Amino acid sequence: MAQKPTAKHTLVSDPQLTQLLQSYETGLRAMQEHKYDKAKTALQKVVAGNNRELADRATVHLNACNQQLEKTSTQFKTPEEHYDFAVSLINLGDYVGAREHLDSLSKQVPKADYVAYGFAALDCLTGHSEDSLRNLARAIELNPALRFQARNDSDFQNLSEDPRFTELLYPDPGAETPIPPEPEFGNLG
């Protein structure tokens, strides 16, 4: 008596369908992680595929991705407003989302002191002390007033015992202004 092929066996024998299902799952996972660009790319592959039922389902999710991307792209009128949103994500504990927004901002305004400061805070909160110190040094270099803000910022609590952090926030006053060399008096006579 011949056995009927199971659904699992059918999927394995159709590599195109297997690939479409993988793209569909990738798209759904990316949506759950709020990575709508990635989700859109995966779901577009499914819509372009040859399985009508799966394409119809992917279209629904693709429309949701497009709505989210549209809302996000028009949501920020200024880079500062975008930065405030990234900070709110940090405060909510969404460090991955915050990093994505800070990455986007760093491309948009590469010399913005507040973006370097945001990276420094995020790096400190996520246990990346070296990166935090480097980004904080850059932020202070761009805007020395941030030194005072960092002194009272609880986001840097993990660095409070690090002497490099203390040096950044409380530099040796003599180190900032170089002492001019003694004038050389040559042979006067």
| pLDDT of res. 189 | 46
- List the domain boundaries for the chain: 10-75, 79-174
Amino acid symbol at 41: T
pLDDT band at 34 (very low <50, low <70, confident <90, very high): confident
What is the rounded average pLDDT of the residues 76-91?
A: 90
Residues 133 and 159 sit within 8 Å (Cβ to Cβ): yes
87-129 pLDDT per residue, tens = 998 998 989 889 999 999 999 999 999 999 999 999 999 999 9
CATH fold for domain 79-174: 1.25.40
Q: From the CB of residue 87, how many other CB atoms can be counted at a distance below 10 Å?
A: 19
pLDDT given for residue 179 in this prediction:
47
Of 40-44, 95-99, 166-170, 172-176, the poorest mean pLDDT is in 172-176
pLDDT at residue 3, rounded to an integer: 56
Is pTM beyond 0.75? Reply is no
> Which whole-number Å values give the CA distances from 24 to 14, 17, 18, 58, 145, in the listed order?
16, 10, 10, 7, 49
**Where would I find the H helices in 93-155?**
95-108, 113-125, 129-142, 146-151
Is residue 107 within 8 Å of residue 116, measured between CB atoms? no
Q: What is the pLDDT of residue 48?
A: 92
